[in-house]
A = this chain, B = another copy of it.
Amino acid sequence: MADKYVYSFGSGQAEGNAKMKELLGGKGANLAEMTNLGLPVPPGFTISTEMCNEYFESGGKLPDSLIQEVKKAMRQVERIMGRKFGDKKNPLLVSVRSGARQSMPGMMDTVLNVGLSTETLPGLIEMTGGDERFAYDAYRRLIMMYADVVMEKAAGIEPERDDLAVRARLEDLMDGIKEAKGYATDRELTAEDLKILSMQFKATVRGVLGQRFPDDPWEQLWGGIRAVFQSWIGKRAVSYRNIEGIPHNWGTAVNVQTMVFGNLDDDSATGVAFTRDPSTGENVFYGEWLRNAQGEDVVAGIRTPNALNLASKREGSNDHLASLEEEMSELYDELSGFRTRLETHYRDMQDLEFTIERGRLWMLQTRVGKRNGVAAVRMAVDMVNEKMISREEALLRIKPSQLDELLHPMLDPAAEREAWKLAKGLPAGPGGAVGRIVLDSDKAKRWAEQGRKVILVRTETSPEDVDGMKAAEGILTSRGGMTSHAALVARGWGKCCIAGASDLKIDYRERSVTTALGTTLNEGDWISLNGSTGIVYQGQLAVMAADPEKMDEYNELMSWADEIRRLGIRTNADNPNDAAQARRFGAKGIGLCRTEHMFFGEERIRSMRAMILAKTEEERVASLKRLLPFQREDFYQIMKAMSPFPVNIRLVDPPLHEFLPDENDPEAVQEVADEMEVDAGKLSSRIHELRELNPMLGHRGCRLGITIPAVTEMQARAILEATAKLTLEGVEVHPEIMVPLVGNYLEFENQRDIIMKTAEQVKKSTGCSELHFKVGTMIEVPRAAITADEIAPIAQFFSFGTNDLTQMGCGFSRDDSATFLPHYLEAGIYQDDPFQSIDQKGVGQLVRIAVEKGRAANKDLHLGICGEHGGDPASIEFFDEVGLDYVSCSPFRVPIARLAAAQSTLRHNGGPKPVEDAPKAGTAAKKAAPAKKTAAKKPAARKTTANPRTKKS
């Protein structure tokens, strides 16, 4: 039991402040803060989150002490407003709203106009100068809301069908009158209509729910408070918290606040505003308003809201409507003053709600405003230049994932809101893509060459699909996870991809795709992909382009990140183009160069297959010899492109059958047999021999190099001969040769010996006596992590292959996990997809064990990570914390990794907390305030010159 549950605010004084979000929720804390700042906030009080928890603990009771506190707080509101709750003459009406520590938009319930009853109605009519229509409209709204939220939902009554819910029945009544009278909108309803409706509403509520709508204001209030608490454990709210990872024991506060009406007359209005433009980040006041309207009208989208000022006008949309600045310039100036005060105070862009009641401005809400990636970067950098915040704060303000919006073309969010969703899969490759459905790789290539935009849609992809994937705008698969072939390749290229959209049935014979709801699309039909959310849309959505390097603010922000971060950032790339792209994005080296993709060129795959099919050691060596020059050239080019930074090359990893056609595809087998001049039957039986039940745990990785040492020797030779050539040409290169899938130090020793022996031979044959290279291993088998102390003394580096470490550590096949992993995430068994964000408690522990054991056994051990987790901010923070030297990720994740690494340094060095978590209120903020005010004005002025749309600053 707490001593105090109720915190009053009003008339320049509040018991709470912005720091008290845990207790008062975000809304309540900010209402208190605004009150303290002297802003005109309708008075009210906040019931703390502690009460919410006690409410549930006590089985749903409001304790006496609370009732006393509420009554006392209400008296204070009454004093300030000069009205009285439940008074016949001069009634006070209040709203009852939820307010959790973290915003849960639309997930909880609200009751407005509480206090209206048969007794107080006449008083309201009198107060509004006889506006019966207004009063009865308010009354019917109260009944409707109360019946729905308090009497039905909070009471746990579940109607059998949606159309039997009380709200639906009341709406039916209203629709009935409108139809009978030929009204198009609610606004045409007369006072008389609304009066009749109120009566009908009350009768229906009694009939449907078996109880009366309470005519006692206090009863309404207690019911409203209870309903807000109940809505904390409503289905929607619970599943929202599960998804967002919000603890269920946080509870919600309840805000009871004097009602102010923007719809009282034409001197009334309501609006929302942002202290800067949330879509561009520009330092202009931005907002929308509606005369004679309630808040919900602005958001609902039925009426097009007016622009707040010139800067908010948008061509072809609201530029014909008068702005607040034009219509009510004094009030606008007042609001504009609040804008500056609030932003300076909170030191971040604020999202404001205001209402004008009969010419008086009331502030209803302030909170940190949401913004897109571009705006986030621009604002953060501007605010540093305005000396409002420090560089560190700026860096911490950007969510690394927001950079995705700068790096990839995106679907237009407005178009997305209106488009038809076909399915949801995993957001495997970020950005947006629009194109025609094509079901095979060859056709995708062909169509693309004809200038058509295509989306390659397949159940899953394989290395044979690479050309089609390259040609496509985006890739959509019905199987596979975040690290499936499609996802890996797409991310490597920065290409939009949705994987594992398991509701889609792909019929290759019918050349069609069918959704869960039975919509069938044919090859050639348009679809659009949002690879950042995983949503597939029907049709051709608008796309917004991206080019971050042209944005000065982006470049500035990234340079700050680079100064601060401890972790090195490398990229995963296996060709010079990707390497160059990644360098542009700021990568300093390659952390993973996969060599198997290099075997897929025409002549190469032939030699590779000959090697696999070799009957004698001589044949095998001969085909490897044919591969050598290709490999050497590949390595030469990629190392040159990355010089002088290190290039980590992984020896061949996948099982051999991946280089052969599918045994169940006789045509493909025949084709390869013809090409290789071997008997198709024999080829088929060799493929069958190589087939594995669990290829993931089969004959791959260093197991290949150990059973066929000539493969390792050829690859080592190719790398080292390329190194020698570059070295002799004066190009500085630092190859790192990585042995994959080591589980036992003896495996590594075996492969290292071959490499070292080859190096001696290469030194002799090339005459390059100074070959600089390292030999190390991937740590991707749990046993390797556990026995890292045995491996470390003979290895120069470890690179954590967290994809496979997750597969083996959790026992999840990434290709098959789509059947259960989504269910696991929904049930909260894993908070995040462990293939997206490293499972710190499990797989992360294996990493930690390996780091500790490895470093203890070899203090010079260089440590990195090259799994897909290298581009995930939460994982990067974890890797920073366990002490890795670098992370490596796909080129398009490099900027994200740079930022995330800087944020990690800041957090671990006790740097400033992000403003979202702990706003700079109180002493520190006050002390800093004057300096900022001045600073804030300067750039605003600069912007004015730059942007003719901004009328005043």
CB distance from A20 to the nearest CB of B (A): 33
- The answer, yes or no, to whether A404 is at the interface (CB within 8 Å) is no
Residue of B nearest to A848 (CB): B786
Contacts beyond the supplied A693-B816, A707-B819, A783-B842: 20 A-B pairs with Cβ under 8 Å = A664-B664, A693-B695, A694-B694, A696-B696, A697-B807, A697-B808, A697-B811, A699-B820, A706-B820, A706-B823, A743-B811, A746-B827, A747-B829, A781-B810, A782-B846, A783-B810, A786-B809, A787-B841, A808-B808, A808-B811
CB distance from A7 to the nearest CB of B (A): 37
Which of chain A's residues 773-816 have a Cβ closer than 8 Å to chain B? Answer: 780-783, 786-787, 790, 804, 807-813, 815-816
A830 vs B746: C-alpha distance in the bound complex, in angstroms?
Answer: 8
* With A699-B816, A744-B830, A808-B809: A783-B839 Cβ-Cβ less than 8 Å: yes
A398 within 8 A of B: no
Bound-complex Cα distance A781 to B747 (A): 23
* Contact status A695-B698, CB under 8 Å: no
Q: Say whether, besides A786-B846, A820-B706, A842-B744, A698 and B813 are in contact (CB < 8 Å).
A: yes
The answer to whether B693 and A786 have CB atoms under 8 Å apart is no
A823 proximity list for chain B (CB < 8 A): 706-707
Residue picked from A808, A828, A843, most chain B C-beta under 10 Å = A808
Task: Say how far A109's CB is from chain B's closest CB, in angstroms.
Answer: 29
Would you give 10 A-B contacts (Cβ < 8 Å), ordered by A? A692-B815, A695-B813, A697-B811, A698-B817, A699-B820, A703-B820, A706-B827, A706-B829, A783-B842, A808-B809
Q: Are A692 and B781 in contact, CB atoms less than 8 angstroms apart?
A: no
Q: Which of B706, B824, B843 interacts with A706 by CB under 8 Å? A: B824
List the B side residues contacting A128 at CB < 8 Å: none
Contact between chains at A743 and B694 (CB < 8 Å): no
Residue A845, interface by CB 8 Å = yes
* Chain B positions within 8 Å of A559 at CB level: none
**Cβ-based interface call for A741 (8 A):** yes
Assess whether A750 is interfacial by the CB under 8 Å rule.
Answer: yes
Taken together as a complex, chains A and B put the C-alpha atoms of A415 and B578 apart, in Å, by: 66
CB distance from A693 to the nearest CB of B (A): 4
Q: Is the CB of B746 within 8 A of A812?
A: no
Minimum Cβ distance to chain B for residue A164 (Å): 23
Per-residue CB contact flags for chain A residues 829-842 toward chain B (1 = under 8 Å, else 0) read: 11000000001011
Q: Report Cα–Cα, A845/B790, bound state, in Å.
A: 13
| Contact A842/B787 with A813-B692, A820-B706, A829-B746 known, Cβ cut-off 8 Å | yes
Give the nearest-CB partner of A812 in chain B: B697
Cα separation A819 to B820 with both chains bound (whole Å): 31
**Roughly how many angstroms separate A829 CA and B742 CA in the complex, as a whole number?**
11
Question: Does the CB pair B744–A815 fall under 8 Å?
Answer: no
Count of identical protomers in the assembly: 2
The chain B residue with its CB closest to the CB of A748 is B829
A689 to B693, CA, bound (A): 16
Chain B nearest CB, measured from A744 CB (Å):
6
- Most B-side CB within 10 Å, residue of A804, A812, A841: A812
Residue of B nearest to A828 (CB): B746
Chain A interface extent, by class:
35 or more
Bound Cα distance A707, B786 (Å): 32
Beta-carbon contacts under 8 Å, A733-763 to B: 741, 743-744, 746-747, 750
CB distance from A620 to the nearest CB of B (A): 15
Shortest A239–chain B CB gap in Å is 16
Residues of chain A in range 668-727 having any CB-CB distance to chain B below 8 Å: 692-699, 703, 706-707
The answer to whether B783 touches A741, judged by C-beta atoms less than 8 angstroms apart, is no
| Cβ–Cβ < 8 Å partners of A664 in chain B | 664
Q: In the bound complex, how far is the Cα of B842 from the Cα of A162, in angstroms?
A: 57
**Residues in B neighbouring A827, C-beta threshold 8 A:** 706, 746, 750
Interface hits, A593-626 → B, CB 8 Å:
none
Least CB distance, A909 to chain B, in whole angstroms: 29
Chain B residues with CB below 8 A from A816, complex form: 692-695, 697-699
In contact, B783 and A811 (Cβ under 8 angstroms)? yes
- Give min CB distance, A779 to chain B, whole Å: 12
Contact partners of A706 in chain B: CB under 8 A? 820, 823-824, 827, 829
Q: Are B824 and A741 in contact (CB under 8 A)?
A: no
Complex contact A693–B811 (CB within 8 A)? no
Q: Is the CB of A696 within 8 A of B699?
A: no
CB neighbours of A750 from chain B (8 A)? 827, 829
List residues of chain B with CB within 8 A of the CB of A828.
Answer: 746
Complex Cα distance, B692 from A16, in Å, reads 57
Contact among B807, B815, B830, B845 with A786 in the assembled complex (CB-CB below 8 Å): B845
Report the minimum CB–CB distance from A903 to chain B (whole Å). Answer: 27
CB distance from A751 to the nearest CB of B (A): 11
Chain B residues whose C-beta falls within 8 Å of the C-beta of A820 in the assembled complex: 699, 703, 706-707
* Contact between A694 and B815, CB atoms less than 8 A apart: yes
Most buried by B among A707, A787, A842: A842
- Chain B residues with CB below 8 A from A819, complex form: 698-699, 707
Give every chain B residue within 8 A of A786 (Cβ-Cβ). Answer: 809, 842, 845-846
Which residue of chain B has its CB nearest to the CB of A749?
Answer: B829
Given that A696-B693, A828-B746, A829-B744 are known contacts, is A811 also in contact with B781, CB under 8 Å in the complex?
Answer: yes
Chain B's nearest CB lies how many Å from the CB of A566? 27
Q: How distant is the Cα of A915 from the Cα of B27 in the complex, in angstroms?
A: 81
Closest to A849 in B: B786
Residues of B within 8 A of A813 (CB): 692-698
Nearest CB on B from A792, distance (A): 15
Set of chain B residues within 8 Å of A843, measured between Cβ atoms = 783
User: How far is A820 from B744 in the complex, measured between Cα atoms in Å?
Assistant: 14
Interface-central residue, A780, A804, A815, A816, by most chain B CB under 10 Å: A816
Which residues of A (318-342) have their CB < 8 Å from a CB of B?
none
Contact B829 A808 (CB under 8 A): no
Q: Residues of B contacting A841 with CB < 8 Å?
A: 787, 790
A122-181 interface (Cβ within 8 A of B) = none
Q: How far is the CB of A47 from chain B (nearest CB, A)?
A: 33
A551 to B: closest C-beta gap in Å? 42
In whole angstroms, what is the CA distance A846 to B784 when docked? Answer: 12
Contacts of A694 in B (CB 8 A): 694-697, 807, 813, 815-816
340-372 of chain A: CB within 8 A of chain B:
none
The CA of A471 and the CA of B83, in the complex, are separated in Å by: 94
A741→B790 CA distance, assembly (Å): 29
The residue on B at minimum CB distance from A698 is B816
Which residues of the other chain, B, contact A698 by a CB distance below 8 angstroms?
813, 816-817, 819
Residues of the B chain whose Cβ atoms lie less than 8 Å from the Cβ of A815: 692-694
Chain A, residues 631-662, CB within 8 Å of chain B (1/0): the string is 00000000000000000000000000000000
| Nearest 9 Cβ contacts at the A-B interface | A697-B813, A694-B813, A783-B842, A698-B816, A782-B782, A693-B815, A781-B811, A692-B816, A694-B696
A827 to B705, CA, bound (A): 13
Tell me which residues across on chain B come within 8 A of A703, comparing CB atoms.
Answer: 820
Contact between B696 and A697 (Cβ–Cβ < 8 Å)?
A: yes
The smallest C-beta distance from A650 to any residue of chain B, in angstroms, reads 16
Query: A692: which B residues are within 8 A, CB to CB?
Result: 813, 815-816
| Bound-state Cα–Cα, A839 to B819, Å | 32
Provide the residues of chain B in CB contact with A808, threshold 8 Å: 697, 782, 808-809, 811
Task: Give min CB distance, A580 to chain B, whole Å.
Answer: 34
Q: Which chain B residues border A839 with CB–CB below 8 Å?
A: 783
| A398-442 CB contacts (< 8 Å) to partner B | none
Nearest chain B CB to A939's CB is how many angstroms away?
50
- Taking CB atoms, residues of chain B closer than 8 Å to A829 are 706, 744, 746-747, 750
Most chain B Cβ neighbours within 10 Å, of A664, A694, A829: A694
A707 to B817, CA, bound (A): 12
Q: Which residues of B contact A824 (CB under 8 A)?
A: 706, 747
Write out the residue numbers on chain B whose beta carbons fall within 8 Å of the beta carbon of A707: 819-820, 823
For residues 231 through 256 of chain A, which have their beta carbon under 8 Å from a beta carbon of chain B?
Answer: none
Q: Hey, which chain B residues are within 8 Å of A782, CB to CB?
A: 782, 808-811, 846
Could you tell me the distance between the alpha carbons of A699 and B845 in the complex, rounded to whole angstroms? 24
User: CA separation between A843 and B783, bound complex, in Å?
Assistant: 7
Which A residues, 196 to 238, have Cβ-Cβ distances below 8 Å to chain B? none
Determine the distance from Cα of A807 to Cα of B811 in the docked complex, in whole angstroms.
9
Closest beta carbon of chain B to A816's beta carbon, Å: 4
**Which residues of chain B are near A783, meaning CB under 8 Å?**
809-811, 839, 842-843
